[in-house]
Structure 1
Amino acid sequence: MHVAVLGAGYAGLGVARRLERSLPPDVDLTVVDDGPDHVLTHEIHRAVRRPAVAEAVRVPLADVLDRAEIVTDPVDSFDPETGHVELASGDTLQYDYGAVAFGSDTAYYGIDGLREHAHPLKTLEDAAAIREDALDTIADGGDVVVGGAGLSGVQVAGEIAALAREEGATVPEDVSVTLVEQLETVAPNFPANFRRAVREALVDRGIEIRTDTTVTAVGDGEVVTDGRDLSADTLVWTGGIAGQPAADGDRPVVQADLRLTDRTLAVGDAARVVGADGEAVPASASAAIREAKTAATNLERLVDGGTDGFSPRLARYRFDVPGWLVSVGDGAVAQLGPTVLTGAAAKAAKTTVGAGYLTSVGAAQKAVELTENEILS
C-alpha cells in the first residue's frame, strides 16, 4: 500500500511526520514538494529586513523526515478520485491514500495590471525581491503600498517601515508606507481588541492605513482605487489566496473529517475547511499545524480500514487555537485568550512560538538561529 503527501508546508510536514511513526512498516510513504526544504512561511516577511533569517526559517526535509521517500518535483496535476499524480518533470505517482497539502497561491482577482506590477509574498525569493525594490524606493524617497491588511500585509508593512528607519529615512516624512484594505478594519478576521492593538502599532510606526478602499487597477507606479489613487514605487500584494495551479486555482471545501474523496484528504491552505462546529476555519499556520494531526489520524484509519475491509470512523477537526500573534516591525501584538499583549511580552511570545515550532519538527538548531535573529529585530 502507498500513502502520499502532496506538499511539505505546515500541514504536509505535520501529516508526514506523524505517519512516519504510525503507519505499518509495509506501507510506503512518499512526500512530494516543489523544493527540498520546509519553509516557515509565517516568518518570510522577516527576510525583507533581515536576509539572514532566510537560513533560519528554511529546514531541509531530509533533516526532519526519516522514513518517507522525498520527491522534489512540483505537482502538475492530480486526480483525487484515482490517486494518480502527474509531476512537472513528466514522472507520475500513484497512491492508495493521500493528503493534498500544497498550500495556496496569491489571488489577484482579475485586477488589471496587478499581477504584472505587484510583488507577492509567498516565498523567500519573493522577500528578497521586495527588499531590493524597497531599498531603491527608500533611497529615492518614494512610496510603498501594501495591498491587503491581513496578518501578512501588516507584517510586511511593518518590516518595510522598520527597514526605512534603519536606512536613515523617516516614515512618513521621507518615505511613505501605505496599507490598503478593502474591508473596514485592519486584521479584519480577528477579535476587536486585537484589531485595535494592531492598528495602533501600525500608526505608531508612521504607516498610513486606508481601509474601505478597493484596488481597481494597477499601472506603472500607480494604484487606482475606488477613492484616491496612490503613487506606488514599490507595491506588495497580500490581498488574498487562491488554489494552486495543480488544483486549477480551486480550494475545495472539505468538512471536519478533511475528506475530499474516498482516498484523498485536503488539509491546510489547499482547502477551505469547515470545522466540527460548522464554521469556516481561517487559513493560517496555526490551523494547518493542528489539522495535520486529524489528517494523519484519518489516513492511518483509512489504511487500517483498507487492509481490514471495513469503512473506518474518521476523526473530526475542531478549530481551537490559543491565540494570535503578529509582528509589526520591531514590535508585536499577541492575543492569548481574551488578553492582548504588546511590547516586550508580545515579542517574547512570538519568538517562543516560532522557536517552539522548529523544535517540535526536529530542527532545534534552526530554533536557536531564529531566536538570535528575533533578538536582533
Structure 2
Amino acid sequence: MHVVVLGAGYAGLTLTRLLERDLPDDVALTLVDESPDHLVQHELHRVIRRPGLADDITVSLTDAVDRATVRVARVEDVDTDERTVFLSDGSLSYDVGAICIGAETAFYGLEGVREHAIALKRLEHAARIRSAALEAFGRSDPRLVVGGAGLSGVQVAGELAELAREEGATAQVTLLEQFDDVAPNFPSNFRRAVRRALENAGVVVRTGTTVTDADEASVVLEGDEQLPADVFVWTGGIRGPDALEGARPSVRGDLRLTDRTFALGDAARVVDANGEPVPASAQTAVRQARTVAENVSRLVEYDREGGVFEPRLESYTFDSPGWLVSVGNDAVAQLGPAVLTGRAATALKTTVGAGYLSSVGAIRNAADLVQEELRFAGGR
C-alpha cells in the first residue's frame, strides 16, 4: 500500500511526520517536493534584512523525516480519479494521497505588476528584494512600495523600513491596501495595533488604495495616480498552484477532495466543520495536517482489513489561539481578546518560531534562531 504526500510546506511536512508515527511499517510513504529543503515561510521576510538567517529557516527534508521516501520533483498534474501524480521526472501512483503543494502569488491579470513587482515566496525572492533595496538606497529620495497589507505585506514593509534605518537611508516605504485597513481579515484591535506599529516604524500606510498597473519606475493606482517606486514588492494575494491549473479546490471539514485524496493548507479553500471559511496560514495548515493524518490512518486501516462500512472521518474545526506578526524590530500578538506589542510580542514570536522548528526535528536551527533573535534584541 502506498500513501503519497505532495508538498513539504507546513501542511505536508507535518502530515508526513505524523503518518510516519501512525501508519504500519509495511505501508510505503512518499513525500514529494520540488525542493530538497523545507522553508519556514513565516520567517522568510527576515532574510531581506538578515541574509544569514536563511540557514536557520531551511531544513533538509531527509533530516526532517524518518522512514518516508523523499522524492525531489515538481508536481505537474494530479489525476485523482486514477490516483496518479505526474511529476517533472516521471509519475507515481497512490492508494491514499494528500495535496499540500501550497499556493502561488496572484496578480489578478495585472501584467505590469507581474512583470515589475517582486513576490516573496522563496529565498531567492528575499535576496532580490534586499539587493534592489540596497541599490535604491544609493539614489536620491528612494521610494519602496509594498502592495498588499496582509500579514506578509506588513512584515515586508517593516523589514524594509528597518533596513533603510540601519543603512542610514532616507527612504520612504509605502504600504498599499485596497481595503479600508491593514490586516483586513483580522480583529479590529489587532488591526489597530498593527497600523500603529507600522507608523511607528516610519511606514506610510495607504488603505482604500487599489493598484491597477505598474512600470519600471512607478506603481499605477486607481484614478491613474503614478506612485514612484524604485522597488515594488507584491504580496497582494494567492492563487492555486500550476498543477491544479491555478485553482484552489474547495474541501469541507474532513478535507477530502475525493474518496482517497485530501487537499489542505494553502492549496485548498477549506470550509470547516462549522461551515466557516478558514484563512490560509501556517497555523491552520499544521492543524489541518493533524486532522488529515487521523483520516488517512483510518482509511489505510479500513483498506487493509476490509469492512462493510467506511470509517467515520474526523472534521477540522478552525480554532486559532491567536495571531502574530512582526513589524521590523517590533511585533504584534493577539491572544484571545488581548493584544501585545513590544518585547513581549517579539519574545512570543521567537518562541513560536523556535517551537515550530523543534517540532519538525530541527533542534539546532531552533537554537540558532533564538540566538540570532537575542543578539538583535540586545542591540535595540
> TM-score by structure 2 length?
0.97
Counterpart check, 1:307 vs 2:317:
no
Deviations 1:187-234 (A, max 9, x none): 000000000000000001111111111111111111111143211110
Q: 1:37 offset after TM fit, Å? A: 0.6
The amino acid across from 1:242 in the alignment is R
Match of 2:290 among 290, 293, 312: 293
Which residue number in structure 1 is paired with residue 52 of structure 2? 52
Contact 1:81 1:263 in 2 (8 A): no
Q: Is contact 1:81–1:262 with CA below 8 Å preserved after alignment?
A: no
3-state secondary structure, aligned to 1:109: coil
Residue 269 of structure 2 is matched in structure 1 by 272
1:199 aligned to which of 189, 195, 199: 195
Residue aligning to 1:20: 20
Find the aligned partners of 2:238 and 2:190 in 1 and give their Cα distance: 22
Q: Letter of the aligned partner of 1:106 in structure 2?
A: T
Three-state SS of the structure 2 residue aligned to 1:269 is helix
Where does structure 2 lack aligned partners over 5 or more consecutive residues?
Answer: none
Name the counterpart of 2:243. Answer: 246
**Hey, what's the Cα distance between the residues in 1 that align with 2:356 and 2:282?**
11
Deviation at 1:370, TM superposition (A): 1.0
**Alignment-derived partner of residue 181 in structure 1:** 177
SS of the residue aligned with 1:298? helix
> What is the DSSP-based 3-state SS (H/G/I as helix, E as strand, rest coil) of the residue aligned with 1:349?
helix
Letter in 1 for 2:338: T
Amino acid at match of 1:327: S
Q: Distance in 2 between matches of 1:347 and 1:229?
A: 36
- Cα shift at 1:375: 2.2
Asked if 2 retains the 8 angstrom alpha-carbon contact of 1:81 and 1:264, the reply is no
Equivalent residue of 2:21, what SS? helix
Shift of 1:373: 2.0
Compute the displacement of 1:25 (Å): 1.3
Report deviation, 1:112. 3.0
Tell me the residue number matched to 2:137: 138
Residue in 2 that maps onto 1:225:
221
C-alpha displacement of 1:376: 3.4
Picking from 223, 229, 234, the partner of 2:231 is 234
Note the alpha carbon deviations across 1:302-331, whole angstroms, 9 max, x for none: 111212334111000011121000000011
Of 209, 221, 226, which residue of structure 1 is paired with 2:205?
209
**Structure 1 residue matching 2:340: 3-state secondary structure:** strand
Equivalences for 1:58-77 in 2 at 5 Å?
58-77=58-77
Shift of 1:64: 1.3
Kindly provide the amino acid, as one letter, of the partner of residue 351 in structure 2.
Answer: T
Which residue in 2 is equivalent to 1:101? 100
Whichever residue aligns with residue 175 of structure 2, its letter is L
1:315-330 aligned at under 5 Å gives the runs 315-330=314-329
Unaligned segments of structure 1, at least 5 residues: none
Structure-2 separation of matches of 1:22 and 1:256: 21
Provide the C-alpha distance between the structure 1 equivalents of 2:80 and 2:125, rounded to a whole number of angstroms: 30
Instruction: Report the alpha carbon displacement of residue 369 of structure 1 after superposing the two structures with TM.
Output: 1.0
Letter of the 1:351 partner, please give it. Answer: T
3-state secondary structure, aligned to 1:168? coil
Tell me the residue number matched to 1:259.
256
Query: What pairs up with 1:163-182 in 2 under 5 angstroms?
Result: 163-169=163-169, 174-182=170-178
How far, CA to CA, are the matches of 1:157 and 1:287 in structure 2? 24
Equivalent AA in structure 2 for residue 283 of structure 1? A
Q: Distance in 2 between matches of 1:175 and 1:41?
A: 26
Of residues 221-230 and 239-248 in structure 1, the stretch that sits farther from structure 2 once superposed is 221-230
**Which residue of structure 1 lines up, in the alignment, with residue 349 of structure 2?**
350
Task: State the alpha-carbon separation in 2 of the partners of residues 139 and 198 from structure 1.
Answer: 29
Deviation at residue 81 of structure 1 after TM alignment: 2.1
Question: C-alpha distance in 2, partners of 1:24/1:43?
Answer: 34
Query: Retained in 2: the 8 A contact 1:5–1:12?
Result: yes
Offset from partner CA, 1:89-139 (integer Å, 9 cap, x none): 2x1110010100010000000013111101000011110110000111122
After superposing on structure 2, the runs of 4+ consecutive aligned residues of structure 1 that deviate more than 6 Å are: none
Distance of 1:350 and 1:81 partners within structure 2 = 42
Q: Distance in 2 between matches of 1:112 and 1:341?
A: 39
Q: Distance in 1 between matches of 2:136 and 2:5?
A: 41
Alignment-mate amino acid for residue 185 of structure 1: D
In structure 2, C-alpha distance between the alignment counterparts of 1:74 and 1:19, rounded to whole Å: 22
Q: Percent identity?
A: 58
Mapped partners of 1:210, 1:189: distance in 2: 17
Q: Distance in 1 between matches of 2:234 and 2:342?
A: 27
Q: Which range moves more in the overlay, 237-246 or 135-144?
A: 135-144
User: Counterparts of 1:330 and 1:265 in 2: how far apart (Å)?
Assistant: 39
For the aligned residues, what is the CA RMSD?
0.9
Contact 1:112-1:216 at 8 Å conserved across structures: no
Deviation at residue 372 of structure 1 after TM alignment: 1.8
